[in-house]
Amino acid sequence: GAGQGIVSLSAAALGAERVIMTDIDSAVPALHRRVRLNRFQAPQVQVTALDWTNRSQALQHIWNDLLATSTTPCSTTAATMKPRLDYILASDVIWVDYLVPALVETIADLMHITKERRDSGTHHHLQSSSSSQDEQTTTPRPQPPVLLLAYQFRSTRSDQLLFDSLDQLGLQRKKIALDGENIDDQDSVYMDSQFRKPNLAIWKVWKE
C-alpha cells in the first residue's frame, strides 16, 4: 500500500490533480495525519482502505465516490464510462510471494482487464465470442491507466511470479532508464547515483 505516503504526497506536490492513497485499514489513520500535516485537502488528496485480497467494495468506492466528478454527463455514453485514472503508482509493495497474485488481480481490475483475458491469456481473448465483442463496442471504456512500479529484487521466485502474471494479462512492460542519458527516450529519468542500486528498478507497465 501507500506506506508512509511519500510517493502519493510527492505526486500531489508536483501537481497531480487528484491522488488516492490506499493501504490496509490499520494504515489509514496514519495516512490521514500525513495528509493534514502536509496541508493537502480533498478532493486533491484522498485516503481509503484497499485490501488486495478483498477489494471489490473498496474499488467500487474509488470509482463511484472518490473519482466521481460533479459534472453531469451530457450523454448516455459519458454516463456509462468509469472516471479516468491516469497512473497507478506502486513503490516497493511486494515483499512476500503470496501477495503477488492479489496485487496483479487488483492491477487488472484498475486496468479494466476482462475476466476472460485473465483466465485465458491474450491470444484467446482476441478470439472471444461476437457477443463479447458487441458488449465491448457498446460499453465504452476509458484509456487504462499506466502502472509505474518501483521494484526491489528480493528473490528469483518473486520476480518470476510477478512478471509471468503480468505477461499472462497481455501487458507490456519496460524498464525505465535512471541515468537520464538517453535524450531520445521520453521515459528516461535521472536519479541521483546515491539512490540507484543494482537490485532496484522502475518498471512502466501498460495495456495496449
Pair 99, 63 in one domain: no
Residue 204 lies in a domain: yes
| CA 9 to the chain's CA centroid | 16
Which residues constitute the domain of residue 199? 84-208
DSSP state of 66: I
CATH of the domain at 189: 3.40.50.150
Instruction: Write down the pLDDT at residue 44.
Output: 94
Burial 126-148 (b: 16+ CB within 10 A, else e): eeeeeeeeeeeeeeeeeebbbbb
Pair 200, 118 in one domain: yes
Structural domain count, the chain: 2
Instruction: Write down the pLDDT at residue 186.
Output: 87
Pair 34, 123 in one domain: no
68-82, 125-139, 181-195: lowest mean pLDDT where?
125-139
To the question of pTM greater than 0.85 for the whole model, the response is no
Pair 141, 170 in one domain: yes
CA distance 15 to 144: 21
Q: Which amino acid is it at 203? A: W
* CA end-to-end distance (rounded Å), the chain: 26
Pair 154, 97 in one domain: yes
